[in-house]
Amino acid sequence: DLLGLARHWNSRTSNKLEDLCKRWDLPVKGDTSEFKGWTFRTRKKKRKKNAKGPPQFMPKIKDDDVPKLAEYANNDAMREWELFTLLLPKLSSFKQELYINWHTLRLFWEPWLATDPEKGQEIIDQMEAEIDRTCEAAGITRSEASKETWFSLMRQALHDAGDDPKRYEKQGKKGPLLAVAKDDPERERLENHEDAQVRALLEARNAVKSWPLHIKRVNRILRQAESAGGFLPVPLKYHGAHTGRWSGGEKINLQNLGSRGHELVNAIRELLVAPDGHELVIADASQIEPRVLAWLAYQE
């Protein structure tokens, strides 16, 4: 709740409790480093791999140290309460914003959406196959497509096509390099190059860089649902952007599921399963931000 209030007041800066206390001239939050290694139960120390000898145990907390933990916890709670009393009056609209903040939290702690693990594995397998397909078409391995070797292969392909690799370079920290970042105009020229091998090499590079990110996202969705009993908590950050809109959480951001890109990226939304008696629909959210802002301003 406090984090939501802090973001509402200023989402452009760090809103960790320690920083909030400094910003609002409150007593310091306290340092937890002195508690490192403290334990109430028998715990083995982490050992280096293949280490020999009898196991070593962490020292248990002493009775005299317990009050220190209590003091830290009490101080933590008081600082949060003081910040709550400072930030709550600064809400732009109590009626609207308190409900939205509460609703955002409920999306996470009262999940309704189920997931389809079989569909998820099917999508992952197809994405892996897409990486293999593009690498095979370029005549290179995954390792060659993802490492520095690829730049040498691309330079050679451009040279063989009668093109000068320097036309596609930009200045990097360690000297000139091929400009293949998403926002590099040279990359678009390579994507539309007249030589098939040049195009194939770039497609393979893009595949080994982008598909693993989508695979991780699918795995995160499935794991998070599994850990919550099969239902997917929706992790959104209330007032995550300075305009007031949400930002994504837990590295899955359900706000930007694909709809206009590759069919496999679009298929990620098919992992979500509506509860009995409900349906999931795809709606055009064009101009959603100004419309919600108008509603928040009571301009219905």
Would you write out the chain's pLDDT as a tens digit for each of its 300 residues? Answer: 899 999 999 999 999 999 999 999 999 998 888 888 788 888 888 888 778 888 888 888 888 889 999 999 999 999 999 999 999 999 988 888 999 999 999 999 999 999 999 999 999 999 999 999 999 999 999 999 999 999 999 999 999 999 999 999 998 888 888 999 988 999 999 999 999 999 999 999 999 999 999 999 999 999 999 999 999 999 999 999 998 889 999 999 998 888 888 999 999 999 999 999 999 988 777 888 888 888 888 888
Q: Dihedral, CA atoms, 262, 264, 268, 273, nearest 10 degrees?
A: 120
The predicted pLDDT at position 71 comes to: 93
Query: Which residues touch 190 (CB under 8 Å, ≥6 apart)?
Result: 154, 168, 180, 198, 199, 202
Rounded distance, CA 173 to CA 157, Å? 24
Question: What is the pTM assigned to this prediction?
Answer: 0.83
The predicted pLDDT at position 55 comes to: 85
Q: Which two tokens stand for residue 56?
A: 């070593």
Helix, strand, coil fractions of the chain, as percent rounded to 5 = 55, 5, 40
The predicted pLDDT at position 267 comes to: 95
DSSP annotation of 18: H
